[in-house]
Each structure stands twice: as structure tokens, then as C-alpha cells.
Structure 1
Amino acid sequence: MASSVDSVHKSSDSVKDYSCVGCLSQNIEKSADFFCETCFKCFCEKCLYHHNQVFVNHVTYGRRETNKWPLEKAIEDLLLKCDVHNNKKLKMFCQDHSQLCCPDCVLLNHRQCTNLALISESVKTLSVDMQQLSKKIQSIIADLNKFKREQETSILSIEESYSEKLQEIRNQRKKLNAALDELENTTLKELDEIRTTLQTSLKKDVDSCGRLKDELQQLSEAVQGLCDKSIQDIEFIASRKCLDKIQESEKYLKENPVKVQSSIIFKANSDIEQYLSQQSDLGRFVDSMQSLKLKKNPDQVLTVKSKSEYNVKISNDTCLNCSISGICSLSSGHIIVADHSNKKVKLLDKNYKVSSHCDMPSSPLDICQITASEVAVTLGYAGVQFMSVSNGQLVNGRKLQLPHAAVGIAHHQGGLYITDNTALYHYTLTGNIVKKLCERDIYSPCNGM
């Protein structure tokens, strides 16, 4: 039997070449160049020379006749091994379940099956086109590679959008902090004003009381000094001044009664704290891979509350007016519009200003979102152009060329739904058609699937 060392390489999808048995006997791994049909062994050119010296009449085949070489043992072991019971070999084929079976499979799951036969018997009635099978496998491998690349691109897109959203969240927090700082500054300013007002009023009272007290104290000392002097005219003057000052003091005390100790009372705006306590986050995340469903009453009437117009014309537009045939809003806040008359797809920033654009080979007709940063644009008979937003710029990606015009387009759960005005087609994201859903002439409605 032809031998091979470590036939299935751990880090590769390819199978290692046949090994020379003569070199292997000397613990040397070397690729074989010839196969001896009589010995059923593989040799390198050097070992074949010694082989031919002994076995002159043996038939050998070189590299150009590998179809006459045997199947490598590693490949044979791989194919004959049962996928369920690894230590068992496949012996039977169940036509009822279209399944290969080892003895354990037959014993456990196929004892009641009526169309169960040895594989050696089944091959007599079931033909296999290995070339067609190989083409099909290569086609699927190509599709898997495309899908893998697309998913890897989506992973990078998610990382990019994650960084953008992280920065947006931090910016939102800064805005909230700035708003709270402004509220705090306004409140502190009001507090300072209240303190100044209260202190000014109280200091005025203190000064007035001090003045009246000092004046009364001076008059009291003067009255005490006149008690034993018997100077009538001065006593009269003193008495009148005392009565006037007493009257002034009593009036002041009456107009300014003693108050409870003054203090500043602050009543917090509980609405702010209550509102924040009711919030679970700073915003909502929308997964662009999921279809958004409106949970609304289907009979509800929607009313337009406001309308705004923005100019998306740029300097190198060929037409005076922009004709917007499609529009798409991304979760990043960017808007992508299809300008039919100017054969451009334009990227608008959050202020609705054109920040980037791509020229199209023909007028864009419709647009739909694929991922968080990728869209697909229909170009009639020019096919479907995929585009993405990277670092704030609009970038062309892959392109699908279809056997019909691409007019309308929608994306749902990994499928593209494209119209050519007379039919609706279901495609995969790689451009493989799944089926034609419906078709109509221009005078009759679509009859459905």
C-alpha cells in the first residue's frame, strides 16, 4: 500500500503528497515520484533506480499518471471513518435515510429500514459523477470563502461602529455634565445673590440698632449727670431729646419686630433626580442586522409635524437640480442619498451637509442598508453597487452584475430582494439567485409567489 506521512496537514486544507517508502525506512521524509503497480508502493527517483535493478519487469507510473496511483491511506481512512462512531468504518448505505452507516449505526438506528445494503452493492445501482461533485464542492467552498470574508468585514465594521458609539456615549456624558454644571452655576449664582440680599438687610438692621443704642446710651449718661444739678432748662432739653429718641427707637422696633434666626432654605428640583432615576441608560442601540418592526396600530393616522429642506448640491454636479431617488439613514447619524440626475451617491453628515460622494456609471435608482455602515445601490442594467462608510468617507465596494435590470432593492435577514419593474427576485448577498418570487406584465398586478 502506498504510504503517506501526516497526510492531512494540521494548518492547511491541502493533503500532503505521497511519501517514498524507501526513504521512510531510513526515517527520511521525501516526496515520491513513482508508483509501482506490482509492489503497490511509492518511490522517489533514487529509490526507484535501486528498485528497477531488482524488479526489471515491474510496471511503474510517474507523476503524469497519478490517476493510476492508489488512494492515499490517510484519505482512505478519512473517508471510510464513520462521522458518528469514529472507531468504526462505513459498511452500509441506507436509501431510506440517504445515509452512510457503520455497524453501530445499523444496530442503533437502521434496524427497521427496508432499503439497507452493503456499499459494494449500492455502488452498482447508484452512479456518482465525481467531476461534477468536485465542481460543486469548489463552488460551495468559494461561496463559504466569500461569506467568511463578508462576515470578517462585518466584524471590522462592528469594531469601527463600536468605537464610534463609545465616543458618542462619552460625548453624551460630557454634554450632560456640562448641562449639570450650567445648572449648578446658575443655582450657585442665585444662592450668592440671596446671601448678599439677606446679609445687606441684616447689616442695615445691625447698623440702625447700633446707632439708636449709642444715641440712647449717650442721652442716658447725660440724664444721670443732670440728676443733682437742678438746671431746669437743660433738663427740659434732655427730657425732650430722650422722649424723641425713645419714640424713634420704639417705632423702629415696632416696624422691625424680632425675627426667628434667619437661614437660607434650598428646595432641590426633584424632577431632575426623579427623571434620571427613571432612565435605564443614556440611549438605545439598534442592531442593523435585525429587521425593525413598528409595534403600532395599523389604523393609526400619522401626521407630519414639520418639514425641512436642505441643499445637497455640490460644485461638480452637472444638473441644476438634484433628483433624490433613494435615501438611507445609518445608526451613526450619516445620511446616504442617491442623486439620480447627477449620477452620484452622496454622504451627508449630521448637519445634512455633503461630506463625501462617489460617481456612478449610471443613474442610481434605489438604495437599502445592509450593515451598520454598508448600503447597496441599484444602477439599472449596471447592476448593484455596494458602498460603505469608512472614516467619514463613502467608499465603493464589490459589485453584482445581474442578468436583468436592478431597479428597486430591499435587504432582509441576509437576503436581497430586487425588482426590474416587472419581476421580483430573491438573491443572496453574494449574488446567487434563490428564486424568482413573482412576475407580471405592465398591465396586470403581480400574482404572488
Structure 2
Amino acid sequence: MAESGGTLQEDEEVPGLVNDILCQPCLSKDKQTVADKFCSTCNEFQCTECSNVHNVLTILRTHKLVNANETVAKQDLFDIKGLDRCNQHKKIIKFFCEDENHLCCSTCAIVDHRKCDSVVEVQKLAGKFMSPNSFVKEKFLATKEKAEGIIKQVMSSNEKLEQEVNKIPETINQVRDEVKRMFDDLEVSIVKKVKSFHEETQTKLTIKQSLTENYLSDIKSLLETVDSVYRNGSSAQQFIVEKKMENDATTLYRNVKEIFQDLETVSVSFHFDKTLKMPPFRISEYVPGQLAFEHHYVNRPMTLTTVSSIDLKKTGDDTNEPFFTGIDFLPDGRLVAVDNYNTKCIVYNEKLEKVGSYQLSHVPKSIAAVSEEDVVITSSSDYIIEFLHISKCNEITSDKTCKVKTQYDSICLKDDDQFAVRTINDKRHVRIVSMTGNENDFSVSFPTKKYTIYDSSCTYNKNNDILVLTDRYEHAVYIYDTKADTRVVVKDDQIEEPRGVAVGPSDTILVCSKGTNSIVQISQTGHILSSHKIDMIYPLR
């Protein structure tokens, strides 16, 4: 844009720009023609030539045509509660900078966007915009539906929990006549614990409900504004509202989605031990039964959206094209990866900008975050695991290297002091390695064969001691409950050549399906929850 020598006043226009109402059908053909009619049925401004179609086609003769200037005057009187004014200068928004995706008043256009290549009148863009589907409204409606679902789930969980809590005294009373003396003490003890658990859980659920109700209130208020603008506002006002509320819609959707994915049902039960013997001490110290407090996450299908991506390209200090065989996230959001072909550990910030690099002395295979600033790396060629320290300033140093007796591939935290590590060419498919390099075995029954470096992967959920192992050519996912010593084998048409595996939201399992170019979500019990095609071939990690 050309620069201007002075500041524009409220009613001034940007020099060289025309404020005529333009024909919207012509605009869709990249042709600028002044409109003199407005069709309320088509909901668009039209020039004489385009509006004459109403006299030619029988189906259009019932449409109501009015003078364009009268319609604009009427629409301009509609109050959209200040949304059509610039936040900085409080002037009417008349322009949109396509370079910076920013709504502008006349002052913004001259002062802040004079060097931009494409500053366009809102009226012109609004003519092309005229979409019957509002992104903002659809996002608000989707968020509203999810928020209402959360409240319904929380209320249902609370009601169910209250019913179960009320049954506890009844269970105790069924055997009260047999051991009357003991049960007076028992009821006081058990009900106290149950009520404490109930109050604690109810508080958590109420917080979720209250937070969601606040979000819902905001959504309904914003939806009223959006609906009102789309019913009564001009196309320019609709465009402005759409752009102004885009961030609100996305933020509310993300907040509600976080609560939605963290929903859980809570239950309480009491099972009486009928082999009770008279104890020589207070009954509350010897509870004749098992009191169970359980939290069950609601396993819901997840939705994947691309946040950002990068193309891996060979740089000046690379010998080969990059090939990442392991990635993980540090707690602060930084991405750490190992480049197998160039023997490097690389750090990226949240924008996927490279901020750190470290040359390794061995060929890396996999990486896992150990703490806020520490990672561990396995080697595909040497019998070692290496610990690196990555400072907040992205300086990378080697802490220590532990020698091991087995070749290892994928690695993840088992607990605070140990890792679950997938082996290479070994019938003990997953082993336990400590922070000091000590190696032990899991007490589970693995398939009786050996996996090469590309045939399998593993992960471990330390919240519930679930070990997951993939078998690429059997098209299978093995889910081991290491405490209960049980195994579930998952095979499905949606899983073809499973490779990498990770723990997902609400303790579900995410599997990279190489043959279908997708990520499959599985529950801990082995049920397929969802499958998502991704924009890449042969997903690995």
C-alpha cells in the first residue's frame, strides 16, 4: 500500500479505494460491477444484468428485489455490539489485510499495514464470503454439544455414585443380625470412608461441571451474537464477526475438549466376607470385606487435527537425508528426536523450529524423556543406553552411558527408576532396564519368536501396569496386564502392519498402522475406538 502523510479521520477513506456496493455474482467471477439491486431470497447484491435473470427464470420470479442502497442503509443500522470497531482506534472496520489476516480500520490500514501487498475492503471480501456455513457458529455449536454432554455425564456419574453410596449401609445391614455387636463399629468406620471419598469425588466432579457451565454460558452468549448477526447483519458485519470470534471459538472448543477427554465415571462398592471370624480387636481395624474405590475413564473416540508439521531436509552439517527413528516431548512442550542416518539428537520448540543439536558417538534408535531436562537414548548398533541433559537454553550434554547386555530398540518409562525397553532378536521381547543399566525380565508370556529391528515396538502405561507390544507381520497388538498376568490380542482390518505404539488420552492406546497409513485408537480392554487417516505414508513412531 502507498503511504499517507496524515492520520485519517473517522469518516475519511483510504485514497484510491472505492466504496460502491459490488455485485456478488460478478465478484465470484473476479469481475467488479456496481450493484443496484438486493435479492432478499438469494441474500446477495446484484447488478442490473445479474438481477434480470429473475425475470427470465420462472423459479426466480417470486424472489423479492429491492434497491441496494436502501438495503445497505437498513443493515448498517444493525448494532453488533461494537464488534465492527477496531480494538485499537475504536473506528469502524472497513478493511482486511490478507497478508497478516487482520481486520483494519482506516487508520490501521494507513499506519500499520501500508507496506502490505493485499489490503482489501471488507465489503468486497464479504461479497465473496457469503458462506451459508459459519465456522464460528459451527465451532460454538460443536463445543456447546460437547459441554452439555460433559454436564450430562457428570450429573449421571454423581447420581449413580450417590445411589451406590446409599447401598453401602444396606449391604452392611444384611448381615447385621448375625454379628450385631461388631457391625455398629463397622458401619461407622466404612460409611465415614465412603462419605469422605464421596465428598472428595463430588468436589472434583462439581468443579468440572461448574467450569463447563461457565464455558457453556459463554458459548450461548456468543452464539446469540453470531445468530443475531447472521439474521440481521450485513455481509460485512458477518465477515467481521466471523474473524473476530474465530479465536474465541477455537479456545472454547479446546478448553471443553480437554474436560471432555478427561471425563471419568466413579463407583464404590462393598463386598462382605462371609467367612468372618470373631476378632479380638475393634471391628473397624479388621474390616470384614473389601472396600473398593474405582475411577473409570470414559473411553471416547478421539479426533486428530494437524497442529504443525515440518519437512525434514538435509542441512549443511548433515551427511545424509534425515531419518527420525524416535521422538518424544519434554514436559515444557519441546520436541526431542533422534536422527538415525546422521547420528544426532535434535531439539525443536513448540513451533517446530530447530533450537538444539548434539552429535552422538553411536547410531541412535529411540528416545524417551526422563525428566524436565533429561532424555535417554537407545542404540541400534552398540550395547549401550545414553543419558543426555538438555538445558532450558537447549544446550545438550552427555550425562552418562550405561553398558547393557542386550540390543534395545523402543524405550519408555516404566516407573520413576526403570524403563520398559523392546529388544532386538531376542525372545524376551520387552525387558526392564534401570537408570543404572541393570536388566531384568517381565513375568509375562511373550510370543515364542524373535523380532528384528523393524518388526515390533512397545510402550508401558505406568498408571495401571499395562504393557503393549506390536507384531508387524501378524498384524496384531498384544496388551498385557502385568499385575493380573492376563493378555489381550487385538486383530482388526483397521490394523495392518502395526509399528509404533504410545499411551494416548484417558490411558487409551495409539498404534501407527503402516499398511493403512493411519493411527488407530484402542481401549485397554482391546476395543477399537477410532481410526484416523493421516497425511503421510508408512507412519513409524
Higher relative contact order (CA 8 A, sep 6+): 2
Q: TM-score range by the shorter chain?
A: 0.3 to 0.5
Answer with 1 or 2: which has the greater Rg: 1
Higher share of residues assigned helix: 1
Higher share of residues assigned strand: 2
